[in-house]
Structure 1
Amino acid sequence: MKKIRITTPENIEVEYTLADVGSRTAAVVIDTLIQSVILILLLVAIVLIRYFSPRFWEGYYGWIIGVSLIVSALIIYGYFIVMELNNNGQTLGKKVMKLRTIRTNGQSITLKHSAIRNLFRLFVDMLGIGVFFIFFNKQHKRVGDMAASTIVIAENDKARPVTLEDLQESNSNFEYYISKEEQELIRDYLERKNKMEDCERLQEELKKHFRKKFETLDILSDFQNFIDSL
């Protein structure tokens, strides 16, 4: 798989493995199947209403159809957004295939990024244009990724001995002095450190970054155990 190096806003260089076309396609197939099941259940509900409550259907069929169309649109478009925002860039399909969507600067995606990339998925990429761009783009981006400044990376499958939650518990001031962006970077590092070829280099960069930060704040002694745990 192709590797890519990204310099984060904290000026730390991180290496990622780009997701290939096969794994991304498999993830989309899984997500599409899940959406299809939900839409089929919605259709079954409409049929049951028409069959068992004909009077209700005759009186409100316009509302029923209208609401059903809105719900269907939300399922088709909103599914990816809701899943990506609540699962750190992963839909159920991506989770199965161990993929994740991030921003091109290494940070987690926001509502804006997810909404843009999935809007293009709905109106452009579903026509096959997205796959075409993945083949010929150096960062394996489809049109939606280009518009939203996102990339899809492959996650590591090895267990990690230390988690972000472990580090949070080690210091009561963790949330106060370490930004959300830094927490995302730490979490990503811990999840992938066992499989990274340049783990020691990145580890030293992280320690150097936090050591300098805490020295400036004159709280290095309070966070020394945190730095040693990285």
Structure 2
Amino acid sequence: MKRIKITTPENIEVEYTLAGLGSRTGAALIDMIIQGVMILLLAIALVLIGVFSPDFWSEYYGWIIGGTLLVYVLISYGYFIAMELSMNGMTPGKKIFKIRTIRSNGQPITLKHSALRNLFRVFLDVFAVGVVLIFFTKEHKRVGDYVASTIVVVEENKARPIMMEGLNVINEQYSHLISQKEYEILREYVHRKNDIEDCDYLRTELNKHFRKKFETEVCLKEWDDFITEL
């Protein structure tokens, strides 16, 4: 599998494994199956309305068809946007195959990036253009990835569980997330928390600080247990 090095805005060099054609195709098929089930349910709902409420169908035919088309667009286009934004660059299919969409600078994707890349999925990838580009391009990108400046990488969990004693030797992907000053504060807190009078307040403030700091980072889930246990 091909690896790529990215320099983040914090000037940290991070190495990722690019997702290949097989994993991306498999993820896309799973997502298509989920979309297909949703569209099937929509069609069943239309049939039920036509069979059991013919008067309602006749009176509101235009509204029903218009609403159906709107829901279809949301399923075919909005599904990927909603999933990628709520699952930090993943969809159910991507999660199964352990791959993730990120920006070309290593940061998480935003609404703009997801909307752009998936717009081209709807209009071009149905003609297998995306498959061809993934296979032949250097960074395995679709047209949407080029336009939105995104890449799809393998979700690697190389870091060990994050504990206090391991904070100063964190996996290279995460070492830029905590400063030396923050490390010293955490170490002091851990050593003295049983003797601190207002420990609950301090714990809450530390939890808020680090959760806010990491909430936009790809690795939040790796830090989640550590933050919760502060």
Range of TM-score over shorter length? 0.7 to 0.9
Post-superposition offset of 1:138 = 1.0
| Structure 1 gap ranges (5+) | 168-185, 194-198
Q: Read off the aligned partner of 1:141 and give its amino acid letter.
A: K
How is 1:42-53 mapped onto 2 (pairs within 5 angstroms)? Answer: 42-53=42-53
* Structure 1 residues 6 and 142: CA distance shift in structure 2, 3 A: same
Q: Aligned ranges for residues 212-223 of structure 1 at < 5 Å?
A: 214=181, 221-223=184-186
Which residue is 1:94 aligned to?
94
Q: Which residue is 1:206 aligned to?
A: 176
1:127 CA displacement: 1.1
Q: Residue 19 of structure 2 aligns to a residue in which SS? A: coil
- Alignment partner, residue 27 of structure 2: 27
Matched, 1:40 2:40: yes
SS in 2 for 1:102: strand
- Cα distance in 2 for partners of 1:96, 1:159 equals 20
In structure 2, the partner of 1:134 is: 134
Kept in 2, the 8 Å contact 1:101–1:152? The answer is: yes
Aligned counterpart, 2:112: 112
Structure 1: distance between partners of 2:42 and 2:185: 55
Distance, in Å, in 1 between the alignment partners of 2:183 and 2:23 is 43
Residues 147-162 of structure 1 mapped to structure 2, 5 A cutoff: 147-156=147-156, 160-162=160-162
Read off the aligned partner of 1:145 and give its amino acid letter: D
RMSD after superposition: 2.9
Runs in 1 of length 4+ with deviation above 6 angstroms? none
Overall identity of the aligned pairs, in %: 57
Shift of 1:206: 3.1
Secondary structure at 1:19 match in 2: coil
- Paired with 1:16 and 1:158, the residues of 2 have a C-alpha distance of 11
CA contact 1:2–1:18 (8 Å) conserved in 2:
yes
2:147 and 2:131 map into 1 onto residues whose CA distance is: 15
* Shift, 1:126, TM fit: 2.0
C-alpha distance in 1, partners of 2:12/2:51? 62
Deviation at 1:119, TM superposition (A): 0.3
Total equivalences in the alignment? 189
Give the whole-Å Cα distance in 1 for the aligned partners of 2:188 and 2:114: 36
For residue 10 of structure 1, what is the aligned residue in structure 2? 10
Letter in 2 for 1:107: Q
3-state secondary structure, aligned to 1:22: helix
CA positional deviation for 1:224: 5.2
Give the TM-score, by structure 1 length: 0.74
Q: Report the 3-state secondary structure (helix = DSSP H, G, I; strand = E; otherwise coil) of the residue aligned with 2:74.
A: helix
